[in-house]
Amino acid sequence: MRQVIPPGPSVGLVGVVVLLGALETTTSDGLGPAAWLVGIASALTLVTLLTAGLRGASRDRLTPADRITLTRAVISCGVAALVAGSAVAAPSHGVAPGVLVALASVALVLDAVDGRVARRTGTVHPLGARFDMETDAFLILVLSTHVAADLGWWVLGIGFARYVLLLLAALSRWASWLRGQVPARRWRKAVAAYQGIVLTAATSHLLPTPVVTVAVAAGLGLLVVSFGTEVLTLRRSALTVRHGAEVAVRRAGMPSPSVEAGVVP
């Protein structure tokens, strides 16, 4: 009989609980209720979405690369807990920046590993790519929330950019083409990596505020360009598909099909 929760997500849930327990010792007063609440909520969300992804892919096991991504996801849940705890704690009882920086740095380093492992083991899969992407997006969202408390709420534009695009794709009947996938490009990956690096650097409080502000603002600008080109690529692809369909219809001697909802005008 199929398990309610596959082994991979189960390990992830246990991993988050163990990590939170370890982080409980990072301050004299512990993580606090807010940190535990956010950490456990993040873990349950991870388990739910990963289980749904595995079911949709008719799989019950993670690949070696997926396990690395799962480790990053567990760490990201820990980072989320620390950020939540720091947000409500008194300045003298907040979690040391070094702990946040260390965890985020490990997650960023592992981000450069899982893709290579997938290619070398011949286990590249759409689920793994999506899992990797959403883990990146969640970590960037959490870090941007933390940095926004110091630099301003405009920093949240970095963290919410991907989710705004997903929301538009889900709600836009006139633009179903937004739900498509663009080809992987190294410069897009570089832009995504830059967000994590610059936000982690900002979290460390080691650089002067003006320098950090410029670096983070540059990251936001690069992200806008990246998402802008992604939208344009999706639109061109949809137009190409529509044009090809119209040409095929004309060659068959049939009238052109009417524009349906969700088709690019």
The pLDDT tens digits of the residues spanning 36-55 come to 999 999 999 999 999 999 99
Whole-number CA gyration radius for the chain: 21
Residue type at position 107 = A
Integer Cα distance of 60 and 238 in angstroms: 34
Integer Cα distance of 184 and 140 in angstroms: 19
Integer Cα distance of 201 and 101 in angstroms: 8
Asked if residue 180 lies in contact with residue 217, where contact means CB atoms within 8 angstroms, the answer is no
Kindly report which listed range (84-98, 104-118, 133-147, 241-255) carries the lowest average pLDDT score: 241-255
Question: b/e for 181-212, b at 16 or more Cβ within 10 A?
Answer: eeeeeeebbebbebbbebbbbbbeeeeeeeeb
What's the pTM value of the predicted model, to 2 decimals? 0.83
- Segment 96-102 shows an average pLDDT of 83
Identify the band that residue 25 occupies on the pLDDT scale cut at 50, 70 and 90.
confident
More confident site: 121 or 265: 121
Integer Cα distance of 180 and 263 in angstroms: 12
More confident site: 6 or 102: 102
- Segment 229-244 shows an average pLDDT of 72
Asked if residue 100 lies in contact with residue 203, where contact means CB atoms within 8 angstroms, the answer is yes
* pLDDT tens, residue by residue, 55-71: 988 888 899 999 999 99
- Segment 22-46 shows an average pLDDT of 88
Find how far residue 91's CA is from the centre of its chain: 29
Closest CA to 162 of 188, 182, 134, 142: 134
Asked if residue 77 lies in contact with residue 13, where contact means CB atoms within 8 angstroms, the answer is no
pLDDT value at residue 32:
86
Q: What is the mean pLDDT of the chain?
A: 83
- Segment 195-201 shows an average pLDDT of 93
Kindly report which listed range (13-22, 89-98, 159-168) carries the lowest average pLDDT score: 89-98
Is 156 exposed, middle or buried (CB count within 10 Å of its CB: 0-12, 13-18, 19+)? middle
Identify the band that residue 139 occupies on the pLDDT scale cut at 50, 70 and 90.
very high
SS3 content of the chain, % helix, strand, coil (to 5): 80, 0, 20
The answer, yes or no, to whether residue 97 has pLDDT greater than 80, is no
Integer Cα distance of 19 and 152 in angstroms: 30
Residue type at position 160 = F
Identify the band that residue 265 occupies on the pLDDT scale cut at 50, 70 and 90.
very low
The answer, yes or no, to whether residue 19 has pLDDT greater than 50, is yes
Identify the band that residue 199 occupies on the pLDDT scale cut at 50, 70 and 90.
very high
pLDDT value at residue 125:
86
The answer, yes or no, to whether residue 261 has pLDDT greater than 50, is no
pLDDT value at residue 181:
66
Which CATH architecture group holds 7-251?
Up-down Bundle (1.20)
Q: What is the DSSP string of 68-119?
A: HHHHHHHHHHHHHHHHHHHHHS-GGGSPPHHHHHHHHHHHHHHHHHHHHHHH
* pLDDT tens, residue by residue, 162-190: 888 778 777 766 666 666 666 667 777 88
Asked if residue 102 lies in contact with residue 43, where contact means CB atoms within 8 angstroms, the answer is no
Asked if residue 59 lies in contact with residue 118, where contact means CB atoms within 8 angstroms, the answer is no
- Segment 224-238 shows an average pLDDT of 79
pLDDT value at residue 129:
87
pLDDT value at residue 219:
92
Rounded percentage of the chain residues whose pLDDT exceeds 70: 80
